[in-house]
Amino acid sequence: EILGQLMSEMKNGRPKLRPVQRSPGGNPVKRTRIPSKADPADILTEVLRRRYSLTQMSDTNGSDTSSGVASSPDWRSCSA
């Protein structure tokens, strides 16, 4: 239905653009999406965000290395 309207508007001339809310700088304002509890993608996104934030918190609180990178074993000392 919407595609049909767009096609007919294109045949008749310039299609009508819908109004977009803009920021004070003139850029379009991004609409925030309300996550659904039934959508698997939204559930997975929330789980990964929680896990990432917990990982970041534990790295900053209990880091025993100054660079934040875990040390790897020295393979040069192993004889082949």
pLDDT in tens, the chain (80 residues): 788 888 888 888 777 778 889 999 999 998 887 888 888 998 999 999 999 988 877 777 665 555 555 555 555 555 55
Element (H, E) at 11: helix 2-12
Q: Are 45 and 35 in contact (CB under 8 A)?
A: yes
Give residue 19's region: left, alpha or beta (phi > 0; psi -120 to 50).
Answer: beta
> What local confidence, expressed as pLDDT, does residue 30 receive?
87
Entry pTM: 0.35
